[in-house]
């Protein structure tokens, strides 16, 4: 049986060093440096069934990008760097979609963009659904 540590490690190995982000790649909720403003990628698993086959679960890929300043309505404001978020999200999705691991189905699910006010960043949150057929 796979554990959440295993699914985090699988996603980490698929993404680490293979994307053009200008930051780190981290596994787990507490591994990203506090107040980082880099283009970091963080993977974590929300849930994963145990002791049944197939194992069904959900993970996150969070891709952080610093906001950009632009003039909106005559005022300087910060907003999401959507072109950069899109480029990095597309890279991550391509790597996940092209993964070929025997007995594992890694299926991109829902995606949203969220704001991280502490670091003035937005992040793309990509849900990954797991269907694990092997022990």
Residues near 47 by Cβ (< 8 Å), separated by ≥ 6?
Answer: 4, 57, 58
Task: Grade residue 25 by pLDDT with cuts at 50, 70 and 90.
Answer: very high
Distance from chain centroid for Cα 99: 15
Task: Grade residue 71 by pLDDT with cuts at 50, 70 and 90.
Answer: confident
pTM of the model: 0.94
Gap between the Cα atoms of 82 and 94, Å rounded: 18
- The per-residue pLDDT for 124 is 98
Phi (first) and psi of residue 4, to 5 degrees: -65, -30
Tens-digit pLDDT profile for residues 29-55 = 778 998 899 999 999 999 999 999 999
- The per-residue pLDDT for 73 is 87
Contact 125, 41 (CB under 8 A): no
Gap between the Cα atoms of 60 and 8, Å rounded: 9
> Quick check: 66 pLDDT over 90?
yes
Structural domains for the chain: 4-132 (3.30.2000.30)
């Amino acid at each position: 049986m796979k554990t959440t540590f295993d699914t985090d490690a699988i996603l980490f190995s698929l993404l680490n060093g293979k994307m053009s982000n200008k930051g780190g790649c981290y596994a787990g909720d507490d591994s990203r440096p506090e107040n980082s403003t880099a283009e970091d990628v963080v993977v974590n698993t929300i849930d994963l069934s145990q002791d049944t086959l197939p194992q069904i679960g959900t993970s996150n890929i969070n891709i952080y990008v610093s906001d950009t300043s632009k003039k909106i309505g005559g005022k300087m404001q910060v907003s999401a760097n959507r072109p950069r978020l899109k480029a990095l999200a597309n890279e991550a999705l391509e790597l996940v979609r092209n993964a070929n691991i025997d007995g594992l189905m890694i299926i991109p699910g829902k995606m949203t963009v969220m704001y991280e006010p502490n670091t003035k960043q937005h992040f793309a949150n990509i849900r990954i659904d797991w269907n694990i057929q092997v022990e």
